[in-house]
Amino acid sequence: MPGLTKLASTIKNQGARAILQIFDAGRMSTPEALNGKQAVSASAVAAQHGNGKAKSAVPREMTVDDIHATIAAFGEATRRAIQAGFDGVELHGANLYLIQQFFSPHSNRRTDEYGGSREKRYTFIKELLASVFAAVDQYADRPFLVGYRFSPEEFTEPGITLDDTFYLVDQLAETRLDYLHVSLSNYDRKSRSTEYQDKSILAYLHDYLAGRKPLIGVGGVRNRQDVTGLLQNAEFAAVGQQLLVDPTWVQKLETGHDADMVTADFVDAIEYTHFNRPLYNFLVARYASEPNF
């Protein structure tokens, strides 16, 4: 709590809103990260990485008690975010982690109420949202945002398709969520499905949502033109790597100092930025392999 409280106040002290992303890695975790314990997931199916490289170990299938405990833990994480002074939480339903693993037909082969049809694969998410909103109702004495991030497609067979994602979006649009956030490596990326080639995934989603929830888009934003392009199909633009290598990028955008924006490839730009070692090593490893998000 002291660390989280300091983080929230540091983010907020120049006027930004602080939203804490909460997640469980599920089968994307490793025994090294879990003090030797086996990772868990919806089913005992190992992850298959997009780059075809080393598969993760086979996880243990969660029992219904495990599922209830995890759902309760997300509620507790929400309580901590409220008490630490954050303005909201974002549920990380993207990038192949546990929440996505319950919705994916690749990682979820269950035959109980948590698996099978699309509807049943949504059960975990439905119960998770109920737990998070119960914590908001019980503990928040100020407006407190809840957002949801999802990945629109998976590269595996079976895997989440854009049609599955339209179903997910329909469900999420009916909830109290404040916004949706789609995870994309490039904001103008096209679908893998031959059915949806007329425009970008972001454009399909934004049109499909039709204003039911604000949408955050992301992926490869580096300059003003990217921001303008992205915002044609979203209410908000998220910026990741450019802010890591160019921490005052937003100020440059606001004050028209576009010429000072860092344009070097990220892999080169990390060499002259002042990262601490763990982040530097993480980024070097990331750029050495195929990006996962």
Which residues of this protein are in contact with ligand FMN, per CB under 6 A? 21, 92, 94-95, 149, 183, 185, 218-221, 239-242, 282-283, 286, 293
Give the nearest distance from C-beta 286 to ligand FMN in angstroms: 6
Minimum CB distance to ligand FMN smaller for 158 or for 240: 240
Q: Where are the beta strands (DSSP E) in the chain?
A: 19-22, 40-41, 60-61, 88-93, 145-150, 179-182, 215-217, 236-237
Minimum CB distance to ligand FMN smaller for 185 or for 225: 185
What token pair was written down for 72?
């309760």
Give the nearest distance from C-beta 273 to ligand FMN in angstroms: 12
Give the nearest distance from C-beta 109 to ligand FMN in angstroms: 25
Distances (CA, A) of 214 to 118, 146, 180, 217, 249: 24, 12, 6, 10, 24
Minimum CB distance to ligand FMN smaller for 75 or for 147: 147
Residue least distant from ligand FMN (Cβ): 240
Minimum CB distance to ligand FMN smaller for 25 or for 110: 25
Minimum CB distance to ligand FMN smaller for 64 or for 250: 250
> Around Cβ 199, how many Cβ atoms within 10 Å?
14
Minimum CB distance to ligand FMN smaller for 23 or for 124: 23
| Edge-first strand listing for the sheet containing 215-217 | 19-22, 88-93, 145-150, 179-182, 215-217, 236-237
CA-CA distance, 266 to 251, in Å (whole number)? 20
Give the nearest distance from C-beta 182 to ligand FMN in angstroms: 9
Longest dimension (CA), the chain: 57
Give the nearest distance from C-beta 281 to ligand FMN in angstroms: 11
CA-CA distance, 63 to 282, in Å (whole number)? 33
CA-CA distance, 241 to 218, in Å (whole number)? 11
**Contact between residue 65 and residue 121 where contact means Cβ atoms under 8 Å apart:** no
The amino acid sitting at 256 is G
> How long is the chain?
293
Q: Among candidates 146, 148, 236, which has minimal Cα distance to 187?
A: 236
Active site residue 97: yes
Give the nearest distance from C-beta 133 to ligand FMN in angstroms: 21
Q: Please list the active-site residues.
A: 97
